[in-house]
Amino acid sequence: MSGYEYLDRNTAETRVKIEAAKRESGKTHEVTLLAAVKYATVDEINYLTEFAGVRDIGINRANQLTEIYDSLRKENLRVHFIGKLQTNKVKYIIDKVDVIQSVDSLRLAEEIDRQAKKHFRRIDILAEINSGREENKSGVLPEDAEDFCVALSAFSNLRLTGFMTMAPKCEKKEDYCKYFRQTYAQVLDIWVKKLHNINIPVISMGMSDSFEAAIECGSNLVRIGSSLFRKT
């Protein structure tokens, strides 16, 4: 397949930046590169997963997932739902996703649990935390995160594997780090002290404009969209 050299270039450049961020901050953990494919074509997605070595993709809208799912090359593919998920849409995606990152209410968790049971699945979820306390963004407030995670861990068809956050738009890396460090410290505290979990949680922090700062603050999964798909 030709004509997608920009995807090879952008993916390689992103991986170099990921490794540089790890090296500069003394981090050694693996960082998953997730392609946020909100504005990508099916051909671009398939090229990334077949030829550029990207294994994780993030979908923002249920309608997009149902429209493209049958056309995706699914070998070694992990599909994450990363956008705002309405309860009435859960039934349409529950058999198509591997992870739902944007779990922000018990009502949504209850519906995911109910639909997962119908499909004999136990589905991986992340608790979404509104680290910037922004009214126009989803996620539970930091002070509610502990009780929320404890409640999520009680659902039999859900597997709480970590956390997701989206920092406010910032001008400087230091400003991003303020939010990311707070979230990182909080979620580790919840993970160890309240959930008594010895496994390493997924910490999904950082996008195209903030992923380097997020990695320096402990993120092990970054959601990259525009940086991967730019053609110039």
Residue 193 resides in a domain = yes
Beta-sheet pairing, 123-129 with 158-165: parallel
Domain-located, residue 83: yes
- Among candidate residues 143, 206, 197, the one with its CA nearest the CA of residue 179: 206
What is the domain range of residue 160? 5-225
* Domain contains 192: yes
Residue ranges in the chain modelled with pLDDT below 50: none
- Residue 129 burial (CB < 10 Å; 0-12/13-18/19+)? buried
Phi, psi of 65 (to 5 degrees): -65, -45
In a domain, 230, yes or no: no
- Report yes or no on 231 lying in a domain: no
* Structure confidence at residue 43 (pLDDT): 96
CATH number at residue 130: 3.20.20.10
Domain-located, residue 74: yes
Does residue 48 sit within a domain?
A: yes
- Determine the pLDDT at residue 171: 85
Predicted local confidence at residue 173, as pLDDT: 84
Q: What is the pLDDT of residue 26?
A: 94
Rounded to whole angstroms, the Cα distance separating 97 from 112 reads: 11
Cα–Cα–Cα angle for 163, 165, 103, rounded to 5 degrees: 60
Tokens of 29: 């953990």
Report how many domains make up the chain.
1
Q: How many helices (H) and strands (E) does the chain have?
A: 9, 8
* Gap between the Cα atoms of 8 and 217, Å rounded: 27
- Residues 94-150: pLDDT tens digits? 999 999 999 999 999 999 999 999 999 999 999 999 998 988 889 999 999 999 999
